[in-house]
Structure 1
Amino acid sequence: MPASSLELATLGHRIRHHRVANDLTLDELGARVGVAGSQLSLIENGKREPKLSLLQAIADVTGAQVADLLSPEPPNRRAALELELQRAQASPVFRQLGIAPVRITKSLSDETIESILGLHRELQRREREAIATPEEARRANNELRLRMRERDNYLPDIEKLAEKQLKAAGHVSGALTHRTVSVMAEQLGFELLYVNDLPHSARSVTDLENGRIYLPPASIPGGHGLRSMALQAMAHRLLGHTPPTDYADFLQQRLEINYYAACCLMPETNAVAFLQQAKKDRNLAVEDFRDAFGVTHEAAGMRMTNLLTQHLGIRLHFLRVDGSGAITRVFENDGLPLPSDVTGSVDGQIACRKFAARAAFAEQNRTTEYYQYTDTPSGTYWCSTQTGTTADGEFSITVGVPFDDAKWFRGRETPKRAVSTCPDESCCRRPPGDVRARWEGKAWPSARVHMQMFSPLPRGAFPGVDDNEVYAFLDRHAEG
């Protein structure tokens, strides 16, 4: 197999290094190995691949070993600088600039090369950051959603890993306790520490050097999120994650650690047994599943998307919708017609006003689930929706299935029914004709501007994480 240009360049540097160490000119070495000095020059400059017999002759004359000449390591610091510059100037990022590369000569000082390399490194760093734009994030997120839909949102390898870790920690059944989560961390060589000064841009911070996982204060009501955050931090280590190379890699890692945490909080074996019994009783309910494992309503609903299709043969959809109607989290493999942009992305799109996910906001009693049938262009769906409120405003969590599978769920007797014709604009987006005629041209609302539209992500290896803040935090606690 022909050697790469970088391999040839490294080989050339190693030959030159041994030639100079023996105080030989190109012509002198060429005469002793039977080739012209000009031919050796091409080899030393990485422009020609020598035969093995010539390499053996060069090794014999210079007192080196052929294996030493073929080593992938640069022979000295100067060679390492030249090779790094050659690699940088051959990169697509540099070539796209249309700038002529710097010619590497003996007269080019080490300091000059280091300065040029500094510019290349900054160029590469900015290019990596440019990838994490909202457009790229939406594209990567949509591709990930489609891949998971093909797999029915089920990752068997992570399911098995979670059950293995739980068994090692002695967990058998019931809600996963904070104590068991701590034992799981200890078995990986980590101590869980709860602190009040976590960096604003990080949910948790793992100190790999000192074996610590820093989490928010343990006084958070319920503590559901704390168990999950600790498990997510451990998952990075268990799954062998490395710093993400791009936004798609970051999103894939986030999905995997969330999945692992869900598997630990609602283990497959026990969760499937619970759901199968509930189906047998025709009494499937998100709220019962939630309470059985001591998790949030959203976590229980999302976990159902991992298990219902794979183990119970039920296709379904999951929606988290905010008070404005925007879809902030989504999964579907049951054909529910969802709004999407020209790229096929669903996140951030406005759900139909007729969907249970939005109709539930109008209910007076929000302590129980809201049930509704909805006729759509793709068929009729039954949905169960629970609303809630955070510091950011209202939200709803919906789990729904096609009409034929409603028979397995509590709430199937509901008389509430709606008709949605979205994406037809006349369904819920276009004002009725008489209302439009009454007010068109006579109203001027002042739009609410979301400031995050203008806020760039802090720079760092992890999108949205401020490295300076994180490192200062670690320094502060390492001293304590």
Structure 2
Amino acid sequence: MTLGQRMRHFRTEAGLTLEQLGADVGVAGSQLSLMENGRREPRLSLLGAIATRLGIELAELLDDRAPTERAGLEIELERAQSNPVYAQLGLPVVRAGKGMSDETLRALVGLHRELARRSREAIATPEEARRANTELRARMRERDNHMAEIDDLVEEALRGVGHSTGALTHRSVSLMAERMGFELVYVGDLPHSARSVTDLENGRIYLPPASIPGGHGLRSMALQAIAHRMLGHEAPNDYAEFLQQRLEINYFAAAALMPRTQAVNFLQQAKSDRDIALEDFRDAFGVTHEAAALRFTNLATAHLDMRVHFLRVGGDGAIAKAYENDGLPLPMDVTGSVEGEIVCRYWSARRAFVRTNRTTEFYQYTDTPSGTFFESTQIGTSAANDEFSITIGVPFDDAKYFRGRETTRREQSRCPDASCCRRPPADLAAHWQGKAWSSAKVHAHIFSPLPSGTFPGVDDRELYEFLESHASS
């Protein structure tokens, strides 16, 4: 649509009709009309001929910016009316013809913006988030958590900055940003709800200073911001699209920090040696244990022929993140969501909390109704000083490839059978029933809708005030 608008803009500036320009470049005027209206994509050779006839550079014709404010509004109106949110209303499509005034066009676009805002606000609830996340997890399970197209894109980008081996440096990340036309800027006043902010007008990516707690993750934050641009993301239409984009940028960052070729070679060698250890994989690429575990799930099935599961579980036993394609019976609510569900207290993800030495990985075999799994768990602590566990597990037959397989720890889980670990023993229940009272902790976010805005969770006013304050610096 933008290309068509630019063709029309430069044609009218040159004082040519569709028929006149078509005659000069050997195309019927009706065909040019389809191109200008965004209904047909012209060949590059034809665009070159059009640019030459109009006396402009081809790059000027291919610029992705609308040529005028009016053209930008027309494009926005057409996109808005093609959105499913508008289609659900059953209203006719309004064309922004020459007879429509700029004021009318601005009013229509403004109404669509408000419709989109209210739609986001209505659906950005915990229930909608859980539903969208459940659907996304199911789609990624079908793909074995593998996105080869992003791996291909990342490897090309890394070659472009000369990175081939070793840990990815901050310098290489900066060069990747520069190749996209962006400068990395470290500031101490980011909006509290944003991890990073990209100024598309001035070509800047704002990140927190490296001295803050967790500053070691700046490479990942910068890569995620770069990924939005490289993957062609636009403002999400709904929460499901927001989650899809977040998954893609996280995958992109992990693929850059642990490039496919290097990572697969490392893991295949470890498998050959029957010595796969997540701590080795983590240390080889200088990333966090959680990042290494998630990247392992990206590559294990596609390149190592292994089915796997991943869990991040809080100290209270609640699932924060989960993935499985090996049949592990994850706890689910009636909607199929697993986030917030409590895992069996006999799983490695919870048993690891009770040991004294937490500096090394905890190994365990767990018998479940779906079979026996070998699991490796590491305990970590969040910035808020809350403990969590990171677990990678595989079916029993693949345990032979992992370090720690000699462990004698073995637990039996009958969950989801409530008699496994959810119900108290009969003697305790008989003794304390009716004699106990407790005041439960209630997390405030359970009752709160997600902050609404262009980007779920980020306050638009705070975001725009931040950009305005830095635009002139």
TM (norm. structure 1) is: 0.77
Partner letter of residue 191 of structure 1?
Answer: E
Q: C-alpha separation between the residues in 1 aligned to 2:105 and 2:177?
A: 46
In the alignment, which of 446, 455, 472 is matched to residue 465 of structure 2?
472
Is it true that 1:358 corresponds to 2:350 in the alignment?
yes
C-alpha contact (below 8 Å) 2:208/2:215 kept by paired residues: no
Give CA-to-partner distance per residue, 1:11-39, whole Å, 9 cap, x none. xxxxxxxxxxxxxxxxxxxxxxxxxxxxx
> Kindly tell me: are residues 461 and 277 of structure 1, through their superposed partners in 2, closer, same or farther at Cα, counting changes over 3 Å?
same
Shift of 1:122: 3.4
Residue 118 of structure 1: CA displacement? 6.2
Q: Given the superposition, is the C-alpha separation of residues 438 and 236 from structure 1 closer, same or farther in structure 2, using an over 3 Å criterion?
A: same
| 1:378–1:202 Cα change, 3 Å | same
* 2:124–2:451 CA contact under 8 A, matched in 1: no
- Partner residue of 1:52? none
CA distance in 1 between counterparts of 2:205 and 2:102 reads 42
Residue type at the aligned position of 2:144 = D
Code of the residue aligned with 1:195 in structure 2: it is V
Distance 1:262 1:479 in 2: 33
Residue pair 2:120, 2:452 contacting (<8 A) in 1 also: no
Q: Which residue of 1 aligns with 2:434?
A: 441
Q: Of the candidates 276, 285, 291, which is equivalent to residue 277 of structure 2?
A: 285
- Which residue is equivalent to 1:325? 317
Structure 1 residue 158: deviation in Å? 0.4
Q: Secondary structure at the match of 1:162?
A: helix
1:397 corresponds to 2:390: yes
Once structures 1 and 2 are overlaid, which stretch shifts more, 293-302 or 342-351?
342-351
Alignment of 1:19-418 (within 5 A): 91=86, 122-220=114-212, 223-390=215-382, 391=384, 393-418=386-411
Q: For 2:372 and 2:315, how far apart are their aligned partners in 1?
A: 24
The corresponding residue for 2:65 is none
CA deviation digits over 1:103-159, x for unaligned, max 9?
A: xxxxxx999999898667534421232122211111111111111111111111100
| Residues 112/384 of structure 1: CA separation in 2 closer, same or farther (3 Å cut) | closer
> Deviations 1:43-79 (Å, cap 9, x if unpaired)?
xxxxxxxxxxxxxxxxxxxxxx999999979xx9xxx
Distance (whole Å) between structure 2 residues aligned to residue 425 and residue 373 of structure 1: 21
Unaligned runs of 5+ in 2: 1-28, 39-69, 92-100
Structure with the larger RCO, 1 or 2 (CA within 8 Å, 6+ apart): 2
Contact 1:286–1:301 (CA under 8 A) maintained in structure 2: yes
Q: State how far apart, in whole Å, the 2-side matches of 1:381 and 1:321 are.
A: 17
Pick aligned residue for 1:463 from 453, 456, 461: 456
Segments of 4+ moved more than 6 angstroms: 65-73, 109-120
Aligned-partner Cα distance in 1 for 2:33–2:298: 54
| Residues 117 and 454, structure 2, Cα contact 8 Å, conserved in 1 | no
Report the 3-state secondary structure (helix = DSSP H, G, I; strand = E; otherwise coil) of the residue aligned with 2:141.
Answer: helix
Mapped to 1, the partners of 2:405 and 2:213 lie a distance apart of: 33
TM-score (norm 2): 0.78
SS at match of 1:225: helix
Cα 1:156/1:115, change in 2 over 3 Å: closer
- The answer on whether the counterparts of 1:93 and 1:124 sit within 8 Å (CA) in structure 2 is no
Q: CA deviation at 1:94?
A: 5.2
5+ unaligned residues in a row in structure 1: which ranges?
Answer: 1-64, 97-108
Question: What SS is found at the alignment partner of 1:320?
Answer: strand
Which of 416, 422, 426 aligns to 1:423? It is 416
Alpha-carbon deviation of 1:224? Answer: 3.5
CA–CA distance in structure 2, aligned partners of residues 92 and 296 of structure 1: 44
Could you tell me which residue of structure 2 aligns to residue 18 of structure 1?
none
- Looking at structure 1, the residues matched to 111 and 154 of structure 2 have their Cα atoms a distance apart, in angstroms, of 44
From the CA coordinates, give the structure whose radius of gyration is larger: 1
What's the CA shift for 1:172?
A: 1.4
- Supply the AA of the counterpart residue of 1:174: G
